[in-house]
Amino acid sequence: MSVRKLKPITPGQRFRIVNNFEEITTSKPEKSLLRGISKSGGRNNSGKMTMRYTGGGHKKRYREIDFKRNKFGIPATVKSVEYDPNRTAFIALLVYADGEKRYIVSPHGIKVGQKVVSGESVAPEIGNAMKLKNIPLGTVISCIELRPGQGAKMARSAGTSAQLIARDGKYAVLKMPSGETRMILVECMATIGSVSNSDHQLIVSGKAGRSRWLGRRPRTRPVAMNPVDHPMGGGEGRSTGGHPRSRKGMPAKGYKTRSKKKESNRYILQKRK
């Protein structure tokens, strides 16, 4: 995986760094796994804007991803690795031995023609999915379920991974991408290997227009607002906003908002950094 810098022939390309897409093998998605996706523009069902700075963007179609990996014991061949406009990671098209096709979040290092399988007693190789109770300790994993059968919820973004560091009874202890150490039931599924497109964090858009293509509208700085609009607004000239806080008055930059009574706190052994 690598990135490339464009020649500065226009102002928008002067600082732009783009993905090389070396892992991508095809530009046409599998038609049977596509469905339409509608945009809200940040409006609710009565047309009122409830989410600011959202709207526009290029038209997209959703790729149906198999997050559950519940086709046990049936080997699949990787047919292609594709770009997905709905997520930062790449996706891989699997063709199972019985003819069914499914998309999965592509692990780093997966190759076209490679065989992958999910199940109880499969080899801990890249792309294979298995329960945490069967994965060797120290293995790097991704696309992890939070509850058995729920489907992958954690470590799904580009370049992310977790590590299985211990097992204690019916719980496995994982080191999460955030640095948090927490317990998860050993019956939960996970995929071996880290997520693809690890260089996503190095990409530089180069111009404001690319944010518009992604459906992001310009964001107004709170210190540029009036006092009626934001707690950090007002003042003469370019005055700072005082204590950083949200539009509703909640302190920002270091203030902990997680509830002390949250039920899942007992599963967290070490908080994230």
pLDDT of residue 116: 97
User: Tens of pLDDT along 166-213?
Assistant: 999 999 999 999 999 999 999 999 999 999 999 999 999 999 999 999
pTM: 0.92
pLDDT of residue 161: 97
pLDDT tens track, the chain, 273 positions: 689 999 999 999 999 999 999 999 999 999 999 999 999 999 999 999 999 999 999 999 999 999 999 999 999 999 999 999 999 999 999 999 999 999 999 999 999 999 999 998 899 999 999 999 999 999 999 999 999 999 999 999 999 999 999 999 999 999 999 999 999 999 999 999 999 999 999 999 999 999 999 999 999 999 999 999 999 999 998 888 889 999 999 999 999 989 999 999 999 999 987
3-201: CATH number: 2.40.50.140
Q: Is the dihedral of CA 190, 195, 201, 204 positive or negative?
A: negative
User: Tens of pLDDT along 135-149?
Assistant: 999 999 999 999 999
pLDDT of residue 1: 61
